[in-house]
Amino acid sequence: MSQPDGHFDVHDKVLREIVVRWDGARAELLFNTMRLVCTDVSDVHVPCALPWGRSVHANRAEVLDGVLFVEMQSGDTIAVRARAFEATTLAG
């Protein structure tokens, strides 16, 4: 599913890893049941200040004006500026 602007259903999903591929201008956010792929990436911000305490679970994700915002249940917000965003469900 491709998302220019809108929401991705990530509530209570576990964020396992974030991979930024510098040579391909690509970022991948791997959750326990889905993968979010960002292409033509120009900026990535991954804070880990934990204002609400440690958590690996996501609250919500939305794309606004070319930026994917993923609010974590830790209170941190991950931001990825890119040209396109696509989510795929993982088998399992």
Q: Where are the beta strands (DSSP E) in 1-92?
A: 6-8, 15-21, 26-31, 34-39, 43-45, 58-64, 67-72, 77-81, 84-89
Asked if pLDDT for residue 84 goes beyond 80, the answer is yes
Give residue limits of the domains in the chain: 6-89
- Token code pair at residue 78: 């991950």
- The per-residue pLDDT for range 8-66, each reduced to its tens digit, is 999 999 999 999 999 999 999 999 999 999 999 999 999 999 999 999 999 999 999 99
Q: Is the whole-model pTM more than 0.75?
A: yes
Helix (H) or strand (E) holding 25: none
Q: One-letter amino acid identity for 42?
A: S
Q: Quick one: which of 55, 51, 48 has its CA closest to 78? A: 48
4: its two tokens? 């220019």
